[in-house]
A and B are shown apart, each in its own frame.
Chain A
Amino acid sequence: MSRLPEGGRIDRSRPIRFTFNGHTYQGCAGDTLASALLANDVRIVARSVTYGRPRGVFSAGSEEPNALVQVGSETMLRATQVELDDGLEAASLNGKGRLTSEPETARFDKIYAHCEVLVVGGGPAGRSAAQSAAQTGDRVILMDEQPLLNSDSDGLPSNVRVLLRTTAFGLYDQNLVLAAERRADGGRLWQIRARQVVLATGAHERPLVFANNDRPGILLAGAVRTYLNRYGVAPGTRGVVFTNNDTTAPLASDLRSAGIAVAAIIDIRREQAIVDTDGDDDGLRAVTLAGGDRIECDLLCVSGGFNPTDHLYSQAQGKLRYDERFACFRPDGKLPNVTVLGAANGEFDFAIQPCWLVPGTNGDWSAHFVDLERDVTVADMQRAVNAGMRSIEHVKRFTTIGTGSDQGKTSGINEVGLVGALTGQPIGGVGTTTYRPPYVPVSFALMAGRNRGDLFDPIRLTSIQPWHVAHGAVFENVGQWKRPWYFPRHDEDMEGAVQRECRAARENVAIMDVSTLGKIDIQGPDAVEFLNRIYTNAFDTLKVGFGRYGLMCKADGMVFDDGVVMHLGPDHWLATTTTGGAAAVLDWMEEWLQTEWPELTVRLTSVTDHWSAVAVVGPQSRDVVHTLFPAIAVDTQSFPFMAIREGETGGIPVRLHRITFSGELAYELWTPSWYGLALWEAVMAAGQPLGITPYGTEAMHVLRAEKGYIICGQETDGTVTPQDLGMGWIVSKKKPFIGQRSHRRGDTRRADRKHLVGLLPVDGEQLLPEGAQLVLDENTSAAVTMIGHVTSSYRSATLGRTFALGMLQRGRERFGTTVYVPLNGHVVAATVTEPIFYDRENVRRDS
């Protein structure tokens, strides 16, 4: 055991058992896994990623490049940051993490906070900054990644919130700081807005680069002091110090008081050097000095100087400059509302003779490790420079130096010094690589927090949803909505269900929940003028009590969205949008109203969720509606296509619309959402004698495609004009509307634009994949020109075959001709038709 008899900030009265690679050990409360392993004389913690060399604990903090471990499902943890916990089970990692296939069971949360001053780093500089900031009564947050503050946290005023075990890993615009808090059962992601950010993040010690400098037992000098003084652990029995600066001065006496023999202090400033090391399977055994002397030792404490920890400052675009006196990069200039204090600001007091490279004995540089985590050596860097790399960023990418999960905290500045030395550039001119968040590895589980599974994204449900669930609907996601896709009966497959649902709508009566349609209430004296400008067609002739299909374009003339606009009363309209387009259409309408047409008095309100809507479809739909609303005359003359009626059934207020999206006689029944389920059940009851059939979105798609009705976002993709769709009939020539001028552009009038067409595969069993490309040449062994694509494709019960819609160059000139669809390994022929397959005369809607 290497535990010292006394000293340190551990609790010897609370022993903790843990396992490492299956062996059971004992540590103390207050230990890290690293200190506990050292206390148990475990010197080899992991093996290196490329060469499989044994590696031990190297540092005492988040800069650790060697001691990577797996704890439970969490991978790539640093043993120096894992707090010892009863029953902890840890295992070595050899440079690469292992993802588990098990779902994460730890709990991760997110928390938001605001403060006037956020101090990152709880050392003396940070603590005094927090204390003085608190005097004004401001809200102050003081955060540190350690489980306890270096200085006593007692005596901090109550307006200082202290966050321990919390690592700030990103500093973003306007002082948004992201921080990861480690907790016993998971973690917490802090998102903090601070008016002022104080960075008191200290400095990282850097090692010296010499031959075989990676053996277990070689530690940073400052880390050795930490293990001695904070954890009461002796990391060896016979030590050597190798330094180029005088921060190591107190180390010898610390070692001696711990009972560790100090075999030698090798100081580069006295023209001494260690040129090689020896070791065995358990790590370091001896060092070789320049001149050939060999010194037996099992602990080597190295210090090559200090790098201010300016990762956060640099992420926020802060500039760094090279400081010759302390051989380090330090902040240069100021960032708004960010202060860098103490060692992080390069406020040092020591003497140093920079040393980037200690030559070995035989001219071999392949065991001079620069980046321990990535196993990058001086030989690798020489190769990069010999290959012509001069920029630090190129050397980084060529060698992968600094790209490990430690982000090169101990290697980065040595890399800069070495590039300078190897290329003959001054170090300040080489500059550092770009620091990017996160400062420490952050797990996806922490970033996700509770936004997983059902909470990943909000789910929108209609008020009729419980009925769909109870009746076995299979759902599909449409944006955030869950919509019934089809309603299988017994062991029916999807195709069987969809064919049955389509037949019911064409031959009998069927019912669909269409509540998800976007709905925008439009009111005001200028509403009709507004609609005339937004839609391609005119609304000033539409009487109260009627609806009209409308199409809207963007300024480039391309179709944007469509829907039915209802004239509900004087200065009162209601527009429906596609299910997915509701928010975008509302933003679009508001943009024009607020920025270009402030003279129009119009008010827009989203009422999508206010209304439930039920489509009753099919030749017998009239009977169902008549049963429910005996007071309303439902013959075609009394209740014509596109008319609106107000009614009531069983106490449910209903607005009835004669609208069809299938071509069949159909009604849409709207009711306030509160009544949605009751209305649905009432319609089902009234339709039961007729065998009313619920149907889902797939049958709806088939029915509308048989009629050639487009779906915005399926037939259109932002490059399609109304004329391309053969919908020139809906484009007014009498009044201005958005996009009108673009319809006269040369490009939108090209004869070879793609047109909406129908496609009938010659083999009526062949279902064309949506998105498949159309070509003219059956022989596709050489490159062929794509002249279109399939937009919608289904199997039709009504047609007894497959069919499709597509966009095809000069499509309207190609009716009756054959195009080819290259599929995986074969080519399928299809006949081009008009984009309508059923009821060309439009008689069924009034049947």
Chain B
Amino acid sequence: MLIPCPWCGDREDIEFKYGGAAQIAYPANPDSADDAAWARYVFFRPNPKGKMAERWVHSAGCRRWFNLVRDTVTHEITPTPAAEERR
């Protein structure tokens, strides 16, 4: 699979490490989260058949973390605008 690093361009997937689901922000105030809300942040992740926002790091390249949207059926990748979606 080719992964488009926003800094380096298309590179083979062996240069990257997978960081799981993206767009799951660290709760602003963990202490005020009840157990259920905290558990949801820690343990619950989407597992869609289709488009999924994912976090990747270009470990063997520029070492930058970034987001993309990957279709889990076709592996089609849609880069997301890095600025507002750094999580």
Binding site for B on A (CB under 8 A): 172-174, 176, 193, 317, 555-556, 583, 586-587, 590-591, 594-596, 598, 736, 740-742, 744-746
Q: Is the CB of B43 within 8 A of A556?
A: yes
Q: In the complex, which residue of chain B has the Cβ closest to the Cβ of A584? A: B17
Q: A595's contact among B33, B39, B86, by CB below 8 Å, is which?
A: B86
Q: B65's contact among A173, A555, A591, A742, by CB below 8 Å, is which?
A: A591
User: Which residues of B49-83 are within 8 A (CB) of A?
Assistant: 55, 57, 59, 63-65, 74-75
Q: Is the CB of B30 within 8 A of A595?
A: no
Bound-state Cα–Cα, A173 to B74, Å: 8
Q: B30's contact among A317, A598, A740, by CB below 8 Å, is which?
A: A740
Q: Is the CB of B38 within 8 A of A741?
A: yes
Complex interface: chain A residues within 8 A of B75 (CB): 173-174
Bound-state Cα–Cα, A787 to B11, Å: 47
Bound-state Cα–Cα, A19 to B12, Å: 45
Complex interface: chain B residues within 8 A of A590 (CB): 57, 63-65
Q: Is the CB of B57 within 8 A of A591?
A: yes
6 more A-B residue pairs beyond the given contacts A590-B57, A590-B63, A591-B57, with a C-beta to C-beta distance below 8 A: A556-B42, A583-B59, A594-B65, A596-B25, A596-B87, A740-B30
Q: Is the CB of B86 within 8 A of A742?
A: no
Please report whether the interface of chain A is mostly helix, strand, loop or mixed according to DSSP: helix
Q: B64's contact among A176, A594, A745, by CB below 8 Å, is which?
A: A594
Q: Is the CB of B86 within 8 A of A594?
A: yes
Minimum Cβ distance to chain B for residue A195 (Å): 11
Bound-state Cα–Cα, A250 to B12, Å: 49
Q: Is the CB of B57 within 8 A of A587?
A: yes
Count B-side interface residues using an 8 Å CB cutoff.
Answer: 26
Q: Given the known inter-chain contacts A596-B87, A741-B33, please indicate yes or no for A591 contacting B19, CB distance below 8 A.
A: yes
Q: A741's contact among B25, B31, B64, by CB below 8 Å, is which?
A: B31
Bound-state Cα–Cα, A272 to B41, Å: 72
Q: Given the known inter-chain contacts A590-B65, A740-B30, A746-B35, please indicate yes or no for A595 contacting B17, CB distance below 8 A.
A: no
Bound-state Cα–Cα, A172 to B74, Å: 11
Q: In the complex, which residue of chain A has the Cβ closest to the Cβ of B43? A: A556
Q: A317's contact among B2, B57, B74, by CB below 8 Å, is which?
A: B74
Most buried by A among B43, B65, B74: B65
Q: Given the known inter-chain contacts A594-B64, A742-B42, please indicate yes or no for A193 contacting B57, CB distance below 8 A.
A: no
Q: Given the known inter-chain contacts A556-B43, A587-B57, please indicate yes or no for A598 contacting B38, CB distance below 8 A.
A: no
Q: In the complex, which residue of chain A has the Cβ closest to the Cβ of B17? A: A587
**Between-chain CB contacts (< 8 Å), 6 pairs:** A176-B1, A555-B41, A556-B42, A587-B17, A587-B59, A741-B30
Bound-state Cα–Cα, A174 to B71, Å: 13
Q: In the complex, which residue of chain A has the Cβ closest to the Cβ of B27? A: A741
Q: In the complex, which residue of chain B has the Cβ closest to the Cβ of A745? A: B35
Q: In the complex, which residue of chain A has the Cβ closest to the Cβ of B86? A: A595
Complex interface: chain B residues within 8 A of A555 (CB): 26, 41-42
Complex interface: chain A residues within 8 A of B55 (CB): 591, 595
Complex interface: chain A residues within 8 A of B31 (CB): 736, 741
Q: In the complex, which residue of chain B has the Cβ closest to the Cβ of A593? A: B65
Complex interface: chain A residues within 8 A of B74 (CB): 317
Minimum Cβ distance to chain B for residue A744 (Å): 8
Q: Is the CB of A173 within 8 A of B1?
A: yes
Complex interface: chain B residues within 8 A of A591 (CB): 19, 55, 57, 65
Complex interface: chain A residues within 8 A of B64 (CB): 590, 594
Complex interface: chain A residues within 8 A of B57 (CB): 587, 590-591
Bound-state Cα–Cα, A317 to B43, Å: 33
Bound-state Cα–Cα, A174 to B10, Å: 11
Q: Is the CB of B19 within 8 A of A598?
A: no
Minimum Cβ distance to chain A for residue B6 (Å): 12
Minimum Cβ distance to chain A for residue B8 (Å): 15
Complex interface: chain A residues within 8 A of B19 (CB): 591
Q: Given the known inter-chain contacts A317-B74, A556-B42, A590-B63, please indicate yes or no for A595 contacting B35, CB distance below 8 A.
A: no
Complex interface: chain A residues within 8 A of B2 (CB): 173-174, 176, 193
Minimum Cβ distance to chain B for residue A346 (Å): 24
Q: In the complex, which residue of chain B has the Cβ closest to the Cβ of A583? A: B59
Q: Is the CB of A596 within 8 A of B39?
A: no
Q: Is the CB of A736 within 8 A of B59?
A: no
Q: Is the CB of B17 within 8 A of A742?
A: no
Bound-state Cα–Cα, A595 to B23, Å: 10
Bound-state Cα–Cα, A590 to B56, Å: 12
Complex interface: chain B residues within 8 A of A173 (CB): 1-2, 75
Bound-state Cα–Cα, A555 to B41, Å: 9
Complex interface: chain A residues within 8 A of B39 (CB): 745
Q: Is the CB of B63 within 8 A of A745?
A: no
Bound-state Cα–Cα, A556 to B40, Å: 11
Minimum Cβ distance to chain A for residue B87 (Å): 5
Bound-state Cα–Cα, A582 to B63, Å: 14
Closest 4 CB pairs of A and B: A741-B30, A173-B75, A594-B65, A174-B2
Q: Given the known inter-chain contacts A742-B38, A745-B38, please indicate yes or no for A174 contacting B30, CB distance below 8 A.
A: no
Q: In the complex, which residue of chain B has the Cβ closest to the Cβ of A605? A: B63
Q: Given the known inter-chain contacts A173-B1, A583-B59, A595-B65, please indicate yes or no for A736 contacting B30, CB distance below 8 A.
A: yes
Complex interface: chain A residues within 8 A of B26 (CB): 555, 596
Q: In the complex, which residue of chain A has the Cβ closest to the Cβ of B1? A: A173
Bound-state Cα–Cα, A803 to B1, Å: 49
Bound-state Cα–Cα, A126 to B75, Å: 28
Minimum Cβ distance to chain B for residue A349 (Å): 34
Bound-state Cα–Cα, A450 to B2, Å: 24
Most buried by B among A594, A740, A741, A744: A741
Complex interface: chain A residues within 8 A of B41 (CB): 555
Q: Is the CB of B1 within 8 A of A595?
A: no
Minimum Cβ distance to chain B for residue A733 (Å): 12
Complex interface: chain B residues within 8 A of A193 (CB): 2
Q: In the complex, which residue of chain A has the Cβ closest to the Cβ of B32? A: A741
Complex interface: chain A residues within 8 A of B42 (CB): 555-556, 742
Complex interface: chain B residues within 8 A of A736 (CB): 30-31
Complex interface: chain B residues within 8 A of A595 (CB): 55, 65, 86-87
Minimum Cβ distance to chain A for residue B25 (Å): 8
User: Which residues of B9-28 are within 8 A (CB) of A?
Assistant: 17, 19, 25-27
Bound-state Cα–Cα, A745 to B43, Å: 12
Complex interface: chain A residues within 8 A of B35 (CB): 744-746
Q: In the complex, which residue of chain B has the Cβ closest to the Cβ of A316? A: B74
Q: In the complex, which residue of chain B has the Cβ closest to the Cβ of A604? A: B63
Bound-state Cα–Cα, A280 to B87, Å: 74
Q: In the complex, which residue of chain B has the Cβ closest to the Cβ of A741? A: B30
Q: In the complex, which residue of chain B has the Cβ closest to the Cβ of A746? A: B35
Complex interface: chain B residues within 8 A of A594 (CB): 64-65, 86
Q: Given the known inter-chain contacts A591-B57, A745-B39, please indicate yes or no for A174 contacting B1, CB distance below 8 A.
A: yes
Most buried by A among B30, B33, B64, B86: B30
